[in-house]
Each structure stands twice: as C-alpha cells, then as structure tokens.
Structure 1
Amino acid sequence: MNGTVDGFSYGIVTPVAAYVMACLGAALGLRCVARTLHYAQGRKPAWLALGAACLGCGIWTMHFIGMIGFQVEQTAITYNVPLTVLSLVVAIVVVSVGVFIVGYRGAAPVPLAAAGVLTGLGVAAMHYLGMAAMHLDGELHYNVPVVVLSVLIAVGAATAALWAAATIRGSLPSFGASLIMGVAVSGMHYTGMAAVSVHVHTGAGHTSNGHTPTSLLLPMLIGPVVFLLVAAVIVMFDPVLILGDGDWSRGDRVRRPVRPAPVEPSAFEPRSGDPSRPQSHRR
C-alpha cells in the first residue's frame, strides 16, 4: 500500500533551520573563494579547500536537517550510517572540483559551465545517496520528471554559487548572494523530496529499535555544524578580508614599486649648458 508521507513533521522548524545552514555554508564558501580571487595574500589552495568544505558541509547539513522532518506514518525510518557519511564525503569532493576549477580558471564561460555542471550533479548525487541511506519497511519510488527538475535546479544553483564567488566583492553583496543560494539549495532539496512516494510492505514492519531520525542524525550533524562555526570565526577575523571590505585599492592588491617623480631643477640652480645661467664674477 502507499504510505502517507509527511515531509514537515516538525512544522516550519526544520525547513528554517535547514535554510539557515545552507546560507551559512554558502556565505563562508563565497568569502573563502573570493579571497583567493580578489586578494594577493594568503595560500590559495588552503582557502579554496576551506571554501569547498564550507559549501559541501552547508549543503549536506541542510539536507539532513530537512530529513529530520521526513516521516512515513506506516513505518519507522532509520539510516545507514556509512552511506550517510559517504554522502558528506561526496558533497565535499564534488564541490571541491568546481571550486578549484573556478579558483584557478576564473569565471570564463567554459570553465564556469563545466564546474557548475560537475558540482550540480555531485550535489544531486549527494541528495539521492542520502535518500538511499534510508531504511524503512517499503520501497521508495521517484517521479522522474520531478527528479530531472531537481537536478537542473542543483546545476543552476551550483553555477550561480561559483559565479558569485568569482565575481562578487564585499560582505554585503556576498551576504545577499548567500541568501539566494540558500533558497536555491533548499528548493533543490524539497523539489527532490516532492518526487518521492513510498510503497509500504504489509507484514511485521520495520522496527527502529528505539532509534528515531532525530536520534540518528543529530549526532552526525554536530561535526559539520561545529566545523562551519569554526570556519566562520576564521573568516570573520581574517585581516585581509577585513581590510579589503573597506577599500579594495589598499592592502589587498599586489604592491608595485613606485618610481620617484623626476625632480625639476630649482629656478636658482644653474643648468649645465644653459647660456643664460648667471656667470660668476671675479674681483
């Protein structure tokens, strides 16, 4: 029989919390990538890796916070821990590929399109790998057109995020871009969830052995959330970013040696070879 699916069993709490984490990951990722593109100081690979990890953790955390609110009334839901952790690794790795392409090749159309497609497909793979980690007494079925739409949203969101990281400067524009990215990532997740239907098996049913999605997922969410908070402290107190926000023309660009301006001779100083110079008088 068809199961009764409830994607918002905790009301608006899980969607809002998921959106906040998506925005936090996007904001930190954008600032880290922007630092490598618009500033000359610092280690580029390290900042790109930090930005990719922030984006990946933000997307993964958003997904599983949203999944805490997902229930099927006729059966209990548990999660395969190795597959759940693997989905986090996939999220970080595929986002890293896109971030490093843009970090070293810039926002030219071809590199940006390639990075956006790869990253978007990776984000979609993370989502559906996380769905495959679900254990319940039934089978998941997907509406293919809606799945395709969710993948297109993921590709569009990834491309927009990478473009924003490569082109947007300053805290306020980056903050606005992160809010838009949070909407896009959340939209991809809930579009993918709208494609799901559950066919529940009749019989003894799947037992959770006392475990609930909250008790299983919350401990796994602690690590990525703490990482994002530590990354936020690093980004907030980075002196190069603080300087650059105030004045993009000082401190953040490569300083070129300044040649001194030629000194004009004084009006009272005689010039060599000048017939009009005053002659010394002998007594």
Structure 2
Amino acid sequence: MPHDHAIQCIHDPLLVALSYLVCVLGSFTALQLAIAIPAARGAAQRWRAIFGAGAAMGGGAIWAMHFIAMLACRMDLPVSYDLGITALSAAIAIASCMAGLAIASAGVFGWGKLVLAGLFMGVGVTGMHYTGMAAMLMPATIDYDTTLVAASAAIAIVASIVALWLAFNLRGWLQMLGSALVMGVAVCGMHYTGMLAARFLPSGSNALPVGLSGNNLGMGIFAVTTLLLAVVLSTSLIRQRQREMVQI
C-alpha cells in the first residue's frame, strides 16, 4: 500500500520522557512486589503476590507507559480512544504479566520455564500494544510494516524474559533500580518500534471520532501512576513494620 500521503507522528519529547519514567516506576514496583512470590506461604498468599507484581508490571510499567507514549504522538487529525478496547488492552497486559510470573514461579526455577514464561508474557505485551492501537478512533486507517511488527514482538519477548529473570534473582534496592532503568529502555524500545511500524493513512472522512479523549485518558493514567506510588509506599511501610516485629 502506498505511503505517500501517510500522516507523520511527531513525538512530544516531554511526554516521551514521562512515559519512560512511568515505565521505570512500574518496573521498580513490580520487582519489589515480586520478591514476595517465592517466599509466599500457601496458594492464596502466592496468588496475591502474583497479582500485585503483575498489576504493577502490566498496568504501570507497560500499559500506562504505552498510553502516555500514545499521547506523545502528535498528528494533524483528531484522535480519541474506544473505552472498551482500551480497557481490554489493560486487561491483556496485566493478565499476561500475571501468567508469566505464575509460570516462572511454579516449582523449581529454570531457564526452560523462564523462556516459556517470557514467551507467554511477551506475546501478551505485544497483543496489548496492538490492541491499544486498535482503540484509536480517527479519520484514518493504520497500515503496518510486518518486519517492524515482528521486531517489536521480539523486543517484547526478550524484555519479558529479562524482567522475569530479574524478578526472581535480584534483592538489593540499587540492583532493582538499575534493573528498572534497563527495563524502561526495553519496554519503551518495544513501544516505539511498534509505533515506527505504523503508517497512518487518511480515510477522507470528515466525521469527528467519538470516544475517550486524550485528556480523560491522561487523567486515568495519572490515577494509575498515583496508585503505584501508594503501593510502593505501603509495601515499604509493611516491610519495615515486619522487620521491627522480628527484632522485638
């Protein structure tokens, strides 16, 4: 399909930077919460730990980052978002991260299990990205470069394997912070490769899209990020209290 009339996406550097910081925050939170998975006693405690870490990774590091990065894309046409598809993309991200953590943490930790969990999680993350793209309501169609789509999927799978390995092998705060910075680069690399794969072709329609506005979406993302900060703070307070109880 010819791309002569494709609309160019110009990224706002401040929002690009914000998307990276949100991804780092979500990754750091997920790594903190993932520590509790191997030490969990009983199935209920284990699944609570998996849900917390999966929600932080899928909802914060990946999904919130994705939509902030989508808002960073400036195009010369009106864009809004389908609420149902947007919610579905968030569910895919969280569910795939939970599944990856559940597979990797079941039984003896090994490379075969790690790769399988990373593959499952990476495919889910890729699905989240392109489902999120499908949520865009605009007078244009999207044509994809299949080579770059495949590259974005490969980056997502590798990033997932790395994230899972880090989740079960790191303990120190500085190590986790450094790992979160690396994860931010990997996840953002997946997203922006996926965006590079997209060509926005005007449909010729003059109808204004009806859906969730970028401003409302931004408010939702702010709420998710605030929730992550609250989780980090509450988790730190709980651990500090537990250490104090042990010392008594």
Alignment of 1:10-49 (within 5 A): 11-37=12-38, 43-49=45-51
CA distance in 1, matches of 2:21, 2:85: 24
Using the TM superposition, give the Cα deviation of residue 50 of structure 1 relative to its aligned residue in structure 2, in angstroms.
0.5
Using the TM superposition, give the Cα deviation of residue 198 of structure 1 relative to its aligned residue in structure 2, in angstroms.
1.3
Using the TM superposition, give the Cα deviation of residue 227 of structure 1 relative to its aligned residue in structure 2, in angstroms.
2.2
Matched position secondary structure for 1:238 = helix
CA distance in 1, matches of 2:15, 2:54: 24
Q: State the match for 1:150 in structure 2.
A: 152
1:157/1:181 contact within 8 Å kept: yes
CA distance in 2, matches of 1:90, 1:5: 28
Alignment of 1:1-283 (within 5 A): 2-8=5-11, 11-37=12-38, 43-58=45-60, 59-73=62-76, 75-202=77-204, 204-208=205-209, 213-239=213-239, 243=243
- Range moving further from structure 2, 224-233 or 169-178: 224-233
Matched position secondary structure for 1:105 = coil
Q: C-alpha deviations, 1:101-157, integer Å up to 9, x for none?
A: 122235301110110000000000000000000011121000000000000000000
CA distance in 1, matches of 2:187, 2:241: 26
Using the TM superposition, give the Cα deviation of residue 33 of structure 1 relative to its aligned residue in structure 2, in angstroms.
1.1
Q: C-alpha deviations, 1:133-185, integer Å up to 9, x for none?
A: 00111210000000000000000001000000111121111111111001000
Q: Looking at secondary structure, tell me which structure has more helix per residue.
A: 2
Matched position secondary structure for 1:76 = coil
Using the TM superposition, give the Cα deviation of residue 242 of structure 1 relative to its aligned residue in structure 2, in angstroms.
8.1
Structure 2 residue identity aligned to 1:61: A
Matched position secondary structure for 1:140 = strand
TM-score w.r.t. the length of structure 1 is 0.78
2:40/2:46 contact within 8 Å kept: no
Structure 2 residue identity aligned to 1:24: L
RMSD in angstroms over aligned alpha carbons? Answer: 2.5
Q: C-alpha deviations, 1:34-64, integer Å up to 9, x for none?
A: 2332687993321221111100112100000
1:30/1:174 contact within 8 Å kept: yes
Matched position secondary structure for 2:106 = helix
Using the TM superposition, give the Cα deviation of residue 205 of structure 1 relative to its aligned residue in structure 2, in angstroms.
1.9
| Number of aligned residues | 241
Structure 1 residue identity aligned to 2:38: L
CA distance in 2, matches of 1:110, 1:234: 34
Residues 66 and 101 of structure 1: CA distance in aligned 2, closer, same or farther (over 3 Å): same
1:32/1:50 contact within 8 Å kept: yes
Matched position secondary structure for 2:35 = helix
CA distance in 1, matches of 2:33, 2:174: 15
Identity of aligned residues (%): 28
Deviant stretches of 4+, over 4 Å: 38-42, 240-243
